[in-house]
Chain A
Amino acid sequence: MLEEMFQILDHEGNLNESLRPSVISDATLKDFYEKMLFHRMADNKILLLQRQGRAGTYASIKGQEASQVGPMHALRKQDWLVPSFRELSAMLMRGVPLKSVYLYWMGNEWGSHVPADVRVLPVSIPVGSQILHAVGLSRAAQILKKDEISVVYFGDGGTSEGDFHEGCNYAGVFKTPTIFICQNNQWAISVPRKMQTASKTIAQKADAYGFFGIQVDGNDVIAMYQATKDAVERAKSGKGPTLIEAVTFRLADHTTADDAKRYRDEKETAFWTARDPMIRMEKYLAKKNLWDEKYRQALEERFSAEIEKAVEEAENTVSKTDDMFDYLYETMPAHLTEQKKLWQS
């Protein structure tokens, strides 16, 4: 599997120049690195907040930054992102304010009220169910003749759900401009990838639905960018959907309520830690004299301050009980008006 997957930057930091996209300059790679570092720190902050009782249960993206930063860089302003619940990096890339991300994981619905020009659906908890929404978004674009693509994320576990099958099948029939990105991080809580499907790869499932599938090194931000760029071109030109299987690894526990040491082998984690998307970027950039420890430390200081500011803004946001009632319908029905009065008295 690992030998066949599409790769441009290997885990030692060697970049295959013959496959390098012309638009990906070293400056762009520095930018990718900075973004991944910021996302890793922003993600880690929530783990700390949860341990302190300042946030609820959280699903960390640690190790999966490249499979989110790369693809999002290939999208246009008008494209949609449909997340599952492990896409903090992708959401930030698409313009969701960090404060909003923190609000959500602190348990405030206003976190999902993204700005009017940000096309990111809320976190979806029921596994795989969001796949159909992404297909619907892009079907609407198709019908209304709007040039918009939707990208939906799900994990290896998600590919076992019926909605994955129904969504891919429907998208194939109508050739909708949908990009399906499976973050195959090898684990669905404690159930390993080989128990989700007997299929040799997840990417090949696209064949069954009549569209293009590709298995990519998910920790290679450049390959993830290129695969998504190709998928965007495919969708734009009416050639239909793409399934991208990002082979990566969930470095953290499933959520803050899980303990991966109960079911995972230290050797496996060590293998994948060496393949961390950030380490290979540091190695490449260092070879080009574009990275050193001082640079990283300076970034960490700057990012720390930004993160603290976002946490403070989120924690200063008050939750109103009115909000529980006011958004069920466009016009509040009589029984809810009565209940709201009663419950608030």
Chain B
Amino acid sequence: MAKLIMVEALNLALKQEMQKDKTVVCFGEDVGKNGGVFRVTDQLQKLYGEDRCFDTPLAESAIAGTAIGMAINGLKPVAEIQFEGFSYLTMNQMFAHGARIRNRSRGRFTCPMTLRFPFSGGIRALEHHGESPEAFFAHVPGLKVVIPSTPYEAKGLLISAIRDPDPVIFMEPKRVYRAIREEVPEEEYAIPIGKARIVQEGTDVTLIAWGAMVRECLEANAMFQQKNISAEIIDLRTISPWDYETVLQSVQKTGRCVVVHEAQKTCGFGAEISATIMEKALYSLKAPVIRVTAPDIQVPLLKLESFYIPDEHKIVAGVEQAMAG
């Protein structure tokens, strides 16, 4: 089986879905001839032509808004936004319309589109190129928010996103784009949206993460083992709608929980997870839910970035806090 990095796995998913379904099209800035600045759409224009893989003018609201119109009229658009910092420009279109057209028309018009973009940091990038806006999108009813953590996950989840009848925000952790190489099946497979993955079973503490933080948790695991802590690590995969059943079952078993996310603490998705656990599994908890997150500041430029992002040490400290309480 071929070993692929995430970029290649995403490219394979797109290639195969575009082969299978002629209504799947992809577009965005530099997506066509250049194959995307991260090469996720590499070769697709050559394979499928300019009608199905194309460059757009530099206009994010247009990328999202025209995708909505295309989705209403028979296409399955996979629209790329070049970096997460520019996803803010799509928010009016996605929040005011993409998320709502089905409900607004009581199902007469629907929006089967995917809006995908690289997100999150740890690569010493420019401003707006290392942030984590998943909570904004998760707060909007009518959208789905999906975040893969590995190449294998990325292919299966992107296939599901493309096939989903509703608008999916697909956020790709760029730190992992090239960092993990693993076996990715050539044949098609779809990983369900809304279902979390138990990466590693354990008994002492439930660790919940997504995107690049899943790997950080796995690397921190060596330190847990040294301290004789058996951690159950969950990759949430979908932020909205999230798999609270799997999380609650785990917390009922372990009694302790640590959520790890790169986004800022306040109103980060960890707050939602924590509140839900409190509402539905309070009496299983032996300690408060701990959130290991970034502080409530803007993502710093590269000189200070490593102080901002949760790393193995911060994760271990969080787990120790959960074990102590």
8 A-B residue pairs with Cβ-Cβ distance under 8 Å, sorted by A, are A113-B107, A129-B92, A133-B97, A135-B69, A166-B57, A170-B59, A327-B102, A328-B102
Q: With A137-B73, A327-B102 as given contacts, are A170 and B56 in contact (CB-CB < 8 Å)?
A: yes
Complex Cα spacing A142 to B108, Å: 22
User: In the assembled complex, which residues on chain B have CB atoms less than 8 Å from the CB atom of A113?
Assistant: 105-108
User: In the assembled complex, which residues on chain A have CB atoms less than 8 Å from the CB atom of B74?
Assistant: 140, 144, 146
CB of A114 within 8 A of chain B? yes
CB of B224 within 8 A of chain A? no
User: In the assembled complex, which residues on chain B have CB atoms less than 8 Å from the CB atom of A121?
Assistant: 72, 109
CB of B103 within 8 A of chain A? yes
B142 touches A329 (CB 8 A): yes
User: In the assembled complex, which residues on chain B have CB atoms less than 8 Å from the CB atom of A330?
Assistant: 102, 110, 165-166
Interface 1/0s, chain B 52-68, versus A by CB < 8 A?
Answer: 10001101011011111
* Interface members, chain A 247-270 (any B CB < 8 Å): none
A132 touches B70 (CB 8 A): no
* CB nearest neighbor in A for B56: A170
A binding-site residues for B, Cβ under 8 Å: 80, 109-110, 112-114, 116, 121-122, 124, 126, 129, 131-144, 146, 148, 150, 162-163, 166-167, 169-170, 173, 323, 327-330, 333-336
Interface 1/0s, chain B 91-116, versus A by CB < 8 A?
Answer: 01100110001111111111000000
B241 touches A169 (CB 8 A): no
Q: With A113-B107, A122-B105, A140-B75 as given contacts, are A133 and B65 in contact (CB-CB < 8 Å)?
A: yes
A137 touches B69 (CB 8 A): yes
B66 touches A327 (CB 8 A): no
* Interface members, chain B 11-57 (any A CB < 8 Å): 23, 25, 51-52, 56-57
A166 touches B73 (CB 8 A): no
| Most chain B CB neighbours (cut-off 10 Å) among A114, A137, A142 | A137
User: In the assembled complex, which residues on chain B have CB atoms less than 8 Å from the CB atom of A134?
Assistant: 69
User: In the assembled complex, which residues on chain A have CB atoms less than 8 Å from the CB atom of B25?
Assistant: 143
B interface size (C-beta, 8 A): 45
User: In the assembled complex, which residues on chain A have CB atoms less than 8 Å from the CB atom of B194?
Assistant: 333-334
Complex Cα spacing A276 to B31, Å: 50
B binding-site residues for A, Cβ under 8 Å: 23, 25, 51-52, 56-57, 59, 61-62, 64-75, 92-93, 96-97, 101-110, 141-142, 144, 165-166, 194, 241-242, 244-245
Complex Cα spacing A167 to B65, Å: 9
Complex Cα spacing A122 to B93, Å: 15
Q: How far is the CB of A106 from chain B (nearest CB, A)?
A: 15
User: In the assembled complex, which residues on chain A have CB atoms less than 8 Å from the CB atom of B68?
Assistant: 132-133, 136
| Most chain B CB neighbours (cut-off 10 Å) among A135, A139, A330 | A139
| Most chain A CB neighbours (cut-off 10 Å) among B66, B103, B144, B166 | B66
Q: How far is the CB of A222 from chain B (nearest CB, A)?
A: 30
Q: Which residue of B103, B241, B242 is within 8 Å of A327 (Cβ)?
A: B103
Complex Cα spacing A325 to B192, Å: 22
A166 touches B61 (CB 8 A): yes
The 7 A-B pairs at the shortest CB distance, nearest first, are namely A136-B69, A132-B65, A333-B241, A136-B66, A140-B73, A166-B62, A133-B69
Complex Cα spacing A328 to B142, Å: 5
B62 touches A169 (CB 8 A): yes
B69 touches A327 (CB 8 A): no
Q: How far is the CB of A213 from chain B (nearest CB, A)?
A: 19
| Most chain B CB neighbours (cut-off 10 Å) among A110, A116, A150, A330 | A330
User: In the assembled complex, which residues on chain B have CB atoms less than 8 Å from the CB atom of A110?
Assistant: 106
Q: With A140-B75, A327-B103, A328-B102 as given contacts, are A334 and B69 in contact (CB-CB < 8 Å)?
A: no
Q: With A122-B109, A129-B96, A330-B110 as given contacts, are A112 and B69 in contact (CB-CB < 8 Å)?
A: no
* CB nearest neighbor in A for B54: A174
| Most chain A CB neighbours (cut-off 10 Å) among B97, B108, B110 | B108
* CB nearest neighbor in B for A172: B57
